[in-house]
């Protein structure tokens, strides 16, 4: 909803109905499932505007209605008692309304002087919750906390322009009905249309994953008592150090993704033993790579604590990393599908290639291009995201088409993540080492002066170097271009999910994208 000019709704009920029918026909022909990204919604709206010569000022309104049409079947499969109706106070009759507002919203007297009482009465009849309040933010919280599964909300386009991206980014199942015109009081909505959407109901019940429960379940696999069955021999310093390191700090994103993809594809929130093995194995590989990275990058802290090589020495630390790699492959070998081993081995080889490119450069620092850095990202960062998704889909029975989707998604997500990480290096005063980063690649490309680059690579404190008056604009220009690139790859990641046919899988990956790079 970011096109130029003011967003307005079509001015007559007849025109609104005609355009809604056009949207319904087009969405049905596309056979897409929700959620759709903002870019997807813009593209569909622009297609309709061009095809039927519609007013471009309707674009924002149409994006909301396209979103509604895509979600309708899913909303219909959600029981009424798991829905909430959100109405704006501005629907009330300002001259006659004497209702009070509290922290939860308007305490409607149901006097009958506006549409609010009838809509709330309909919600009561169906068994839906309803509130009269401004904004979707609080309702999104209710959904994320498991109080309800969906929202049917009425709001002005001005408010939706701010709230709508929140619904999209969090993949919230919902319908947003725009008011017929913006205003702070005495507004109107297509009353019968709202009633129709409230009454949607199918014979099927929707499946929604309990993300918090799944995260808790995944983390519990790494508690020491649960993990011991996969580590039968803890008889020396290497095995004990590896076990403690694996069971220690960590967000467990990779194991969670394995379990979450499996659950989304199978509608089964009970992970099989193979899923659990694959999840533990992928964390073994991740923790092994961290041990080796910390040695190669000369880092002395990880998670705010001394690194493994600082505690045990480099020789033992290398052995700890190697042991975790061996354990990961041993655990995977116990799984039924040998495709799991092949997927992990391919990612392992790629990661080492990417790290090797960095190590080769560090032996002889020299100007580098963005293409060179992107090649490192694709070999080192992308497989770390892709392998967890691949293990999840293999455990769910495998699907070659989804593998291709995951490859494109992971590439865009991994690059966006690394671009964001490179940008954030300059957000504080902590010293950073010269390495092949996207920001420095852009500096090299935009300012190829030999003397400048020589001084940059020789700088003992890179951030102080860029605080010099002549150098600061060069860094700011590179940072801005990196931000634009990061957002472009962010959108490419979401675009890669367009043809995914599993609603809950698509919702999961939208939420993952938001958590990682949103």
**First-last CA distance in the chain:** 18
Are 414 and 302 in a shared domain? no
Are 457 and 481 in a shared domain? yes
> What is the count of structural domains for the chain?
3
Are 421 and 498 in a shared domain? yes
- 72, part of any domain: yes
The domain boundary residue, chosen from 154, 179, 198: 198
Are 272 and 384 in a shared domain? no
Q: Give 172's pLDDT tier (boundaries 50, 70, 90).
A: confident
Are 34 and 124 in a shared domain? yes
Question: In this prediction, what percent of the chain has a pLDDT beyond 90?
Answer: 67
Are 163 and 41 in a shared domain? yes
Q: What is the pLDDT of residues 333-375, one digit of tens each?
A: 999 999 999 999 999 999 999 999 999 999 888 999 999 999 9
* 22/28 Cα distance (integer angstroms): 10
* 194/435 Cα distance (integer angstroms): 56
Lowest mean pLDDT among 96-110, 324-338, 389-403, 474-488: 96-110
- 218, part of any domain: yes
- 446, part of any domain: yes
SS3 344: helix
pLDDT of residue 2: 47
SS3 83: strand
Q: What is the pLDDT of residues 122-161, one digit of tens each?
A: 999 999 998 887 666 667 777 777 788 889 988 888 877 7
pLDDT of residue 199: 95
The domain boundary residue, chosen from 150, 178, 198: 198
Are 232 and 323 in a shared domain? yes
State pTM to two decimals.
0.88
- 2, part of any domain: no
Are 144 and 162 in a shared domain? yes
pLDDT of residue 483: 97
The domain boundary residue, chosen from 164, 198, 232: 198
Averaged pLDDT, 293-315 = 90
Q: Give 94's pLDDT tier (boundaries 50, 70, 90).
A: low
Residue burial 156-175, b: 16+ Cβ < 10 Å; e: rest: bbbbbbebbeebbbbbbbbb
In whole angstroms, how far apart are CA 373 and each of 312, 376, 396, 426, 436? 33, 5, 34, 18, 6
Q: Which residues constitute the domain of residue 98? A: 13-198
Are 141 and 194 in a shared domain? yes
Are 323 and 362 in a shared domain? no
Q: Is the dihedral of CA 310, 224, 284, 259 positive or negative?
A: negative
- 217, part of any domain: yes
Q: What is the CATH number of the domain that holds 467?
A: 1.10.600.10
Task: Give the Cβ contact number of residue 38 at 10 Å.
Answer: 17
pLDDT of residue 159: 78
Judge whether residue 7 has pLDDT over 90. no
pLDDT of residue 4: 47
Are 483 and 428 in a shared domain? yes
Q: What are residue 298's phi and psi, to 5 degrees?
A: 60, 35
The residues, ordered by sequence, that sit 6+ positions from 469 with a Cβ below 8 Å of its Cβ are: none
The DSSP annotation for 197-263 comes to HHT---SS------HHHHHHHHHHTTSHHHHGGG-----SHHHHHHHHHHHSS---HHHHHHHHHHH
* 399/404 Cα distance (integer angstroms): 9
- 1, part of any domain: no
Are 507 and 362 in a shared domain? yes
């Amino acid at each position: 909803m970011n096109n130029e000019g003011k967003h307005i709704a079509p001015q007559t009920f007849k025109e609104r109905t005609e355009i809604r029918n056009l949207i319904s026909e087009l969405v049905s022909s596309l056979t897409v499932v929700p959620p759709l990204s903002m870019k997807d919604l813009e593209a569909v709206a622009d297609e309709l505007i061009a095809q039927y010569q519609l007013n471009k000022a309707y674009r924002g309104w149409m994006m909301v209605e396209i979103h509604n049409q895509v979600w309708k079947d899913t909303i219909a499969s959600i029981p009424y008692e798991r829905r909430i109706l959100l109405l704006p106070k501005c629907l009330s009759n300002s001259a006659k309304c004497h209702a009070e507002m509290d922290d939860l919203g308007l305490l409607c007297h149901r006097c009958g002087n506006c549409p609010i009482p009838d809509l709330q009465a309909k919600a009561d009849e169906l068994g839906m919750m309803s509130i009269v309040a401004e904004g979707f933010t609080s309702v999104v919280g209710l959904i994320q906390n498991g109080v309800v599964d969906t929202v049917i909300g009425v709001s002005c386009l001005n408010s939706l322009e701010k709230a709508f991206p929140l619904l999209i980014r969090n993949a919230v199942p919902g319908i947003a009905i725009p008011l017929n015109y913006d205003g702070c009081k005495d507004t109107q909505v297509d009353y019968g249309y709202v009633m129709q959407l409230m009454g949607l109901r199918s014979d099927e019940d929707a499946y929604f994953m309990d993300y918090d429960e799944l995260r808790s379940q995944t983390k519990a696999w790494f508690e020491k008592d649960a993990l011991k069955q996969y580590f039968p021999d803890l008889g020396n310093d290497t095995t004990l150090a590896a076990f403690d390191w694996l069971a220690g700090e960590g967000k467990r994103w990779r194991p969670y993704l394995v379990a979450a993809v499996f659950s989304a594809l199978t509608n089964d929130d009970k992970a099989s033993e193979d899923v659990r093995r694959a999840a533990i194995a992928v964390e073994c590989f991740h923790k092994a790579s961290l041990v080796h990275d910390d040695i190669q990058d000369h880092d002395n802290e990880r998670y705010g604590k001394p690194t493994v090589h600082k505690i045990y020495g480099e020789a033992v630390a290398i052995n700890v990393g190697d042991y975790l790699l061996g354990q990961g492959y041993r655990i995977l070998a116990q799984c039924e599908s040998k495709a799991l081993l092949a997927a992990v081995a391919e990612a392992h080889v790629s990661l080492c290639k990417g790290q090797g490119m960095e190590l080769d450069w560090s032996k002889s620092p020299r100007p580098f291009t963005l293409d060179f850095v992107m090649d490192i990202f694709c070999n080192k960062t992308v497989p770390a995201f892709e392998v967890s998704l691949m293990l999840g889909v293999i455990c769910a029975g495998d699907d070659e088409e989804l593998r291709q989707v995951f490859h494109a998604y992971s590439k865009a997500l991994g690059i966006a993540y690394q671009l964001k990480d490179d940008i954030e290096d300059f957000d504080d005063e902590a010293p950073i080492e010269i390495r092949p980063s996207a920001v420095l690649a852009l500096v090299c490309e935009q300012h190829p002066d030999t003397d400048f680059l020589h001084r940059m690579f020789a700088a003992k404190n890179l951030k102080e170097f860029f605080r010099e008056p002549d150098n600061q604009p060069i860094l700011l220009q590179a940072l801005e271009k990196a931000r634009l690139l990061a957002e472009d790859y962010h959108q490419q990641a979401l675009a890669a999910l367009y043809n995914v046919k599993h609603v809950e899988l698509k919702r999961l990956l939208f939420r993952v994208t938001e958590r990682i790079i949103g």
